[in-house]
Amino acid sequence: MLLVMPSLQKISYLSVLLLSAVLVAGINANEDFDAGEGLQVTLSSSEPDIVSLSNIDIDHRGRVWACDVVNYRPNRGKRAAGDRIMIMEDLDGDGKMDSHKVFYQGTEVDAAMGLCVLSDRVIVSVTPKVWVFYDDDGDDRADRRELLFSGDGVEQHDHSYHSLVFGPDGNMYWNFGNTGKNLRGADGKVLKDIHGRLVEDKGKPFWGGMVFRCQLDGSRLEVLGHNFRNNYEVSVDSFGSLWQSDNDDDGNRATRINFVMEGGNYGYLDELTGEGWRKKRPGMHEDVSLRHWHLNDPGVVPNVVQTGAGAPTGITVYEGRLLPRAYWDQVVHCESGVNVVRAYPMKESGAGYAGQSLAMMKSRKDRSFRPVDVAVAPDGSLFVSDWYDSVVGGFQQRDIAKGRLYRIAPEGARYVPGKPAYDSPAAAAFALKNPNYCVRYKAWQVLHGMGVKAEKALLDLYQSQNQRHRARALWLLGKISGRGEHYVRLAAGDANADIRVTALRLAVQVGVSLPELIERMAADPSAKVRRECAVCLRLVKGPLKAQLWRKLALAHEAGDRWSLEALGIAAAEDWDACLDAWLKEVGKDWDNAAGREIVWRSRARRSAELIAKIIKDPGTGEGERPGYFRALDFQPAALKKAALESILSGAD
């Protein structure tokens, strides 16, 4: 049901809210949406209590927090007191919100697009600032705020700063899109990450949108991936794997879901020039939706899913058990452009992943349904925020009168978030199993603070049949003072490949010797474990690195782009030594399908000569040659010139 509204310029904002109230009675979630098998959609809240909702989060008590936005771009100033951070609570378990409170209202949060609710603080991303709010007296009103990050990101731009999320390792993860520009500290200077790299979009070394890891106070900042367009939000699972969506240039039907391989380049702009997808280049893909991401260029990490047309927004990983099995441990994502909330069931594909699309909640007729964010509640149900507007993108907001919140749960499931306890190691370890990020944050802080006193309870959890619960325990066990190396070694020999991957990631954070660990795991039967060995190897310096890389390169299987790009990430600063070590091992046998891929990806000084040999080989197909000519673009100019002259002369 749609209501034709008079011009907003002719009526007051209050009048708009009063007029909008007539819509609520006409909403019937069961009739308005197609829900996935075994799911029921409930209208949890709507106008006039709330209006356009952007980001949401859910606290350890099961209350839904939301950025309630009116003052977005064309409507700046319409809400004179500023936009709001809301707290909504269901008091009787029917999935509908009975209480609506304003935690904070002010122009500082106008058009906020990121919200992270932890048990002791609330982090709000509103470009070009990231604020931390504190409720010191427990009255559900903000008492003070502190600046966490600032920068030169474009104010009120959808491609700028997005939400932070708590990781299983105790760190915070977040991102910004390709108008984020940079991050600055309190002194006004552009920040450097822990590797000494300036966090700025200038191609030296980073392009476009980026993904970050940092500690709760913003310290130990690290850029984990770059060259995205509008990576709207990042989510992290219990193994420490990062997942996010990215938006294409409008009209290319090229939106995507990414697994973020640390150190990866994701191909929005040409690595060499910063040019977009329209710039002609050798070997470019015929399909614009693939050409868009420079996927035929060496050095670009592949996509997990190409999701077609749309406007991708909020994302989470569902690790609960309330919903049907098809959704367990899957990425769940809002696609505001085509009015749907989807899950992406993943399967392993070489050293990486391939995903499918499974609709969970899709509007039948009302194209104003604009799901912007999704969050997991403590009981395992999902909540979805609805911006509700006839348009999406283009910096427009035509409808400031309406907004909705929905709950997704099995039919008849009451909303009972429970009251997790944290007063003993066993209770806190039980709370750590919860699917809600805020509950896990509170449990993590308690258990980490207990140190060795929590070890037995965490070891009990480590014996679980649920591998994600085991991973959560492992992160904490490894961070008990003096116990890191013991638990890394224990997990490195585990029967489960995801636990072995977690062991490698844990080793980086607790300072376990990486060369020794990678030496032990380089021949692992799992391609994803070998991938993670390569990703960790990027942090190793010295002559041993090339020998470890050689072992990983020998295990590379032709056609596995994930493995190939992981090898590229590992060798980035040491290509000459790495390629020489591999060539010394394989000798003349380098010229096979797997070896040609390694040469194509390589940036070593010998690469141009070897690429020229491949191009001149009569057995190289005409359709293959453009890709090798493109690989020459990534070689030093003099070596590229010599290779081209060799090709033209036909000399061996």
pLDDT of residue 186: 83
Q: Stretch 72-78: mean pLDDT, rounded?
A: 94
The whole-angstrom separation of Cα 221 and Cα 205 is 16
593-599 LR contacts (CB < 8 Å, sep 24+): 593/558, 593/559, 594/556, 594/557, 594/558, 597/556, 597/558, 597/564, 598/553, 598/556, 598/564, 598/567, 599/631
pLDDT band at 529 (very low <50, low <70, confident <90, very high): very high
The whole-angstrom separation of Cα 256 and Cα 263 is 19
What separation in angstroms does the CA of 470 have from each of 242, 294, 345, 490? 18, 38, 21, 12
Residue for token pair 């474009």? 154
pLDDT of residue 7: 35
Q: What type of residue is 356?
A: Q
Q: Stretch 95-99: mean pLDDT, rounded?
A: 98
pLDDT of residue 392: 86
> Looking at the predicted structure, is the pLDDT value of residue 4 above 70?
no
DSSP secondary structure string for all residues of 335-401? EGGGTEEEEE-EEEETTEEEE--EEEEEESS-TT--EEEEEE-TTS-EEEEE---S--STT-----S
Provide the CB-side half-sphere exposure for 480 (13 A, CA).
20
Host H or E run for residue 608: helix 607-616
The whole-angstrom separation of Cα 541 and Cα 530 is 18
> Looking at the predicted structure, is the pLDDT value of residue 13 above 80?
no
**Could you say which DSSP state residue 317 is in?**
E
Q: Stretch 136-142: mean pLDDT, rounded?
A: 98
DSSP secondary structure string for all residues of 15-51? HHHHHHHHHHTT--HHHHEEEPTT-EEEEEEETTT--
- List the helix and strand counts (H, then E) for the chain: 18, 28
> Looking at the predicted structure, is the pLDDT value of residue 396 above 50?
yes
Interacting residues of 391 by C-beta distance below 8 A, sequence separation 6+: 398
What confidence tens digit (pLDDT) does each residue in 155-190 have?
Answer: 988 899 999 999 999 999 999 999 999 999 888 999
Residue for token pair 């009972």? 416
What confidence tens digit (pLDDT) does each residue in 588-601 have?
Answer: 999 999 999 999 99
The whole-angstrom separation of Cα 613 and Cα 599 is 11
**Could you say which DSSP state residue 427 is in?**
H
Q: What is the CA radius of gyration of the chain?
A: 25
> Looking at the predicted structure, is the pLDDT value of residue 323 above 90?
yes
> Looking at the predicted structure, is the pLDDT value of residue 9 above 70?
no
What confidence tens digit (pLDDT) does each residue in 21-31 have?
Answer: 445 555 777 78
387 φ, ψ (degrees, to nearest 5): -65, -35
**Hey, which residues does 68 pair with through a beta bridge?**
53, 84
Host H or E run for residue 331: strand 330-335
Q: Looking at per-residue confidence, does 651 or 138 come out higher?
A: 138
Rounded to 5°, the CA angle 53-445-438 comes to 20
The whole-angstrom separation of Cα 271 and Cα 456 is 49
The whole-angstrom separation of Cα 614 and Cα 189 is 47
**Spatial CA neighbour of 377 closest among 121, 161, 117:** 117
**Hey, which residues does 315 pair with through a beta bridge?**
333
**Spatial CA neighbour of 29 closest among 41, 12, 18:** 41
Where b means 16+ CB within 10 Å and e means fewer, 507-525 reads bbbbebebbebbeebbebe
Rounded mean pLDDT of the chain?
94
The whole-angstrom separation of Cα 601 and Cα 567 is 9
What confidence tens digit (pLDDT) does each residue in 199-243 have?
Answer: 999 999 999 999 999 999 999 999 999 999 999 999 999 999 999
Strand 382-386, strand 33-35: pairing: unpaired
What is the token pair recorded at 329? Answer: 């441990």
What separation in angstroms does the CA of 232 have from each of 116, 238, 294, 388, 397? 14, 21, 20, 18, 18
pLDDT of residue 651: 67
pLDDT band at 250 (very low <50, low <70, confident <90, very high): confident
**Spatial CA neighbour of 232 closest among 223, 217, 243, 224:** 243
pLDDT of residue 393: 79
Q: Stretch 65-86: mean pLDDT, rounded?
A: 96
pTM equals 0.95
**Spatial CA neighbour of 29 closest among 323, 404, 457:** 404
Percent share of the chain, pLDDT over 70: 96
Longest CA span, the chain: 82
What confidence tens digit (pLDDT) does each residue in 277-319 have?
Answer: 999 999 999 999 999 999 999 999 999 999 999 999 999 999 9
Q: Stretch 97-121: mean pLDDT, rounded?
A: 98
- Residue 456: Cβ within 10 Å count: 12
What domains sit in the chain, N to C, each tagged with a CATH number? 13-266+301-409 (2.120.10.30), 605-652 (no CATH)
The whole-angstrom separation of Cα 508 and Cα 588 is 36
What separation in angstroms does the CA of 77 have from each of 86, 421, 463? 19, 44, 55
The whole-angstrom separation of Cα 285 and Cα 162 is 31
What is the token pair recorded at 374? Answer: 């999704």
What separation in angstroms does the CA of 76 have from each of 80, 84, 396, 398, 404? 9, 14, 11, 12, 21
Interacting residues of 513 by C-beta distance below 8 A, sequence separation 6+: none
Question: What's the N-to-C CA distance of the chain in angstroms?
Answer: 73
